[in-house]
Structure 1
Amino acid sequence: MTDTRDDNYAGVYDRKAGFGRRPALVMVDFAEAYFDPACALFGGAGCESALASALRVRAAARAAGVPVILTEVSYPDGRGLTGGRFWEKAAPLEAFVKGRSTARFADGLTPEPDESVITKQYPSAFFGTSLAPMLTAMGVDNVILTGLTTSGCVRASCVDAMSHGFITTVVADACGDRHQAPHEANLFDMNAKYADVVSEAEICAHIAALPRAAG
């Protein structure tokens, strides 16, 4: 008999992490690169729907006083020295050289004055950045993740968020990838091991129910 996914996982990875009391929304790498058809990283409909969802989650977070953090990938020049082995391996990272149109935030996503921007060179929003200590100083116990791409920087950020001690929530509708298969597979795996994967409706309802002081 051939084992199915449910046969292998049911009763093994069924635990829920739940929500924390003081969340922050992290929007991972919503860069123009994923929305420019001429760019090798173009993600099409999956990325477009993720951005639309993430903007609605962001509006809910801002209305509730939940902190919002945006991340960007940026390399100071075409040599990619700050990207190290990641730059050597992943040729499309050239889209994130500082000053290129593909490196800017996607249309519709302009950082507000009270929103922090974390600049990174590697997949995780936490690796080599000040994100973890900043969240800790803010008293955050729950990281809500949205972003691009599900199988890349969202997943890496998810694992590191959990590893840094934050309850981690991934908003499925607000994450996107260049192909549905890796998107779904990584959501499944993150939900099994590292985070709770929830819908846009679920996270917005949770945020709306938070005491206003949570911000």
Structure 2
Amino acid sequence: MTEQDLSQNYKGAFGKRIGFGKKPALIMIDFVEAYFDPSCSLYAGAEDALASALRLQAVAREVGIPVIYTNVVFNKTALNGGRFFQKSMTLHHFIEGNPMGRWPKGLVPSEDELVISKQYASSFFGTSLASTLTSLGIDTLIHTGVSTSGCVRATCVDCNSYGFIPIIVRDAVGDRHPAPHEANLFDMDAKYGDVVSEEETVSYLRNLGRN
């Protein structure tokens, strides 16, 4: 099936736009060294996604939008990794203390920004993210991060399930191969949230700042 056939197949059944909400937060999902070190088995070549996310981070800080970061951290025995750790051949890079779990060059959360350490793919599962967003009155979660087919997608689906608007910034998410990257962007845009450009997102954030 060609891309045109696929779009035609979904037309009229999926792909309705939700649109940006009134009060957003920016989430930077699992931007850690493992995805940017070519010697690591998790290397994703997602440098362009990180650069885009950092530009969004700068705008969000400028206009006073909350910025939230996630990473994956397991204890020394990975006892808290469950089936997720059991299934993977790469998650040992995220055992506490491993340098692959550090923030990459250029990414520095400020002291007043929230870092959520998780053990599973979704940023919502087993964390305080949903209650934090609710308490802040947030209605929109702008997604950046890695990988598109893994933790970004899982976060998007749960974001939708918890009643927040998932906005996925195409330029600011990355994956190790273009096929799952594009397939999951297509599917998230069709069923769960809106896939938008960095340019659209910056314009939205700056308009909020002016208002």
Q: Which residue of 1 aligns with 2:18?
A: 17
Q: Deviations over 1:11-53 (max 9, x none)?
A: 2113110111100001000010001111100112xx1110000
Cα offset, 1:91, TM superposition: 1.6
Aligned partner (choices 150, 153, 161) of residue 151 of structure 2: 153
Residues of 2 paired with 1:14 and 1:32: CA distance?
Answer: 34
Q: Deviations over 1:171-190 (max 9, x none)?
A: 01000000011111100000
SS of the counterpart of 2:195?
A: strand
Q: Which residue of 1 aligns with 2:43?
A: 42
* One-letter amino acid matched to 1:15: K
State the TM-score, normalizing by the size of structure 1.
0.95
Q: Which residue of 2 aligns with 1:68?
A: 67
* One-letter amino acid matched to 1:42: Y
* One-letter amino acid matched to 2:149: S
Q: Which residue of 2 aligns with 1:137?
A: 135
Cα offset, 1:80, TM superposition: 1.1
Aligned partner (choices 80, 83, 96) of residue 82 of structure 1: 80
Residues of 2 paired with 1:211 and 1:167: CA distance?
Answer: 19
Aligned partner (choices 119, 122, 127) of residue 121 of structure 1: 119
SS of the counterpart of 1:72?
A: strand
Question: Stretches of 4+ moved more than 3 A in 1?
Answer: none
Cα offset, 1:7, TM superposition: 2.1
Cα offset, 1:139, TM superposition: 0.6
Residues of 2 paired with 1:92 and 1:98: CA distance?
Answer: 14
SS of the counterpart of 2:75?
A: coil
Q: Which residue of 1 aligns with 2:183?
A: 185
Residues of 2 paired with 1:155 and 1:106: CA distance?
Answer: 21
* One-letter amino acid matched to 1:74: V
Q: Which residue of 2 aligns with 1:166?
A: 164
RMSD between aligned alpha carbons?
Answer: 1.4
Q: Deviations over 1:64-113 (max 9, x none)?
A: 10000000100121x21101000000120001011111011111111111
Q: Which residue of 2 aligns with 1:203?
A: 201
What are the ranges of 5 or more consecutive residues in structure 1 without an aligned counterpart? none
